Structure 1
Amino acid sequence: MQPFFMAIIDIIRSRRSVRSYKPDPLTEDQIKAILHAGMLAPSAHNHQPWNFIVITNRDAINRLSMSVQGYLGDKLSASDAISYFGSQERVDRVKKRLELKEDTVFYGAPCVVMVVVDKANLEYGPIDCGMAAENMCLYAREQGIASCIIGYARHASREELIRVGMKESQELMFGMVFGYSDQMDGDPDRDFNKIQKWQK
């Protein structure tokens, strides 16, 4: 697929969190370019705390997915499930996903990226990594590649995370997935009334 070029505001407006992927793999050069965009992000004192673990091996992705699904299954059966997931609607949605018995965490994407930082960088590292992640998502969009940030990846077992390359001295911030979309882009509602106060 050839990349298409867009104005930055159009990229921002059209980016979507995609939750269904074609199996077609990305090339190593495509993945490296996405990671490079992340590494161009600003960070506190230019500390650049992010480290990326790239996973394209399907067995490894499935192991991580099953690990997270086990955690979510336990949460669904707990008495405070609605409190944890936020609403009965979300409880039902997660339950339905888990019943599919597929990669319901990473949505079948061919490329998973785990974003990790050293434990010593946990004060500002999450902010820095968030900026790096948005760079990656926007660059991917500009290249015709879909993406989604996976917060639930934080609940993968530490054993599985270390198995794919995380160090004992590191913590996982979140996961990300990249690939070619297998769904129609939606048009989610946006609430633009979020300027709480403008002190003049």
Structure 2
Amino acid sequence: MVANAILNRKSVRSYSDKPVEDKIIKEILTAGMMAPSWVNVQPWQFIVVKNQSVKDKLAVAANNQNQVKNASAVICCVADMTAWNDDKFSRVMEKQGRNSDVRNYILSNPVLNPSLLGEYETLLRTIEQMSYAIGYMTLRAEELGVGCCIVGAIANELTHKENNVAATVKQLLGINDKQILISLLTLGYEKEHARTVKSRKDFDEVVSFEKLGEKYSV
């Protein structure tokens, strides 16, 4: 059940030598593809990496986090801002059965089409959509008994850190200038007792009723 996956999912950073089968990885990826996105734009690309040399380079870009190089597979989650291009965006909407008037309205409305506002706004919206897909994949991995960890601390255009490393990784992965490696999802079967303790803020710290700070009594 999804509820169980939500409650039980934890970041797993230590993996056994048992490989995660391709059919299992495909199920995890398919879950990500089924995530909701704004007007169904689906501004994501996923690159599966198993090659040890490439994983080692990804680990360097990720501040040498061991789970990256030791994972059975790494899913590179790429924010694809080209998905908002008029032609691509329009084709997606056409597949949904939206007529030309509706498509043109959406394409010309900055509330619905962030590309009209600029590259920064487009990136923000793209990252927002990406987060849904990544969340879906982590839950499906949990359901399938696969440990995973979201690695967002990486060298990229957002962190402006070690851009030579970021450029090397982008070249290795075939990512263009309108695509940004947002995070890595490491996959593997956990070693016994390798999970971290799950801790969350109290309900009343983050939930309000009608107005921020007003208690929601349930």
Give TM-score scaled by structure 1 length: 0.73
Corresponding residue for residue 142 of structure 2: 141
Contact conserved, 2:61 with 2:154, CA < 8 A, in 1? no
**2:49 is equivalent to residue 49 of structure 1:** no
Which residue of the other structure, out of 7, 10, 34, is the alignment partner of 2:4? 10
RMSD: 2.0
Q: Quick one: distance in 2 between partners of 1:136 and 1:68? A: 20
Contact conserved, 2:43 with 2:81, CA < 8 A, in 1? no
Q: Which digits, 9 at most, give the CA deviation of each residue in 1:168-200, with x for residues without a partner? A: 321111111111011423432221233353117
- What amino acid sits opposite 2:147 in the alignment? A
Give TM-score scaled by structure 2 length: 0.68
- What amino acid sits opposite 1:32 in the alignment? K
**2:120 is equivalent to residue 109 of structure 1:** no
Shift of 1:123: 3.1
Q: Quick one: distance in 1 between partners of 2:142 and 2:155? A: 24
Which residue of the other structure, out of 15, 19, 38, is the alignment partner of 1:21? 15
Corresponding residue for residue 198 of structure 1: 209
Q: Which runs of 5+ in 1 are unaligned?
A: 1-6, 70-97
Corresponding residue for residue 171 of structure 1: 180
Q: How many residues get paired?
A: 162
Contact conserved, 1:117 with 1:172, CA < 8 A, in 2? yes
Larger Rg: 2
- What amino acid sits opposite 1:181 in the alignment? E
- What amino acid sits opposite 1:129 in the alignment? M
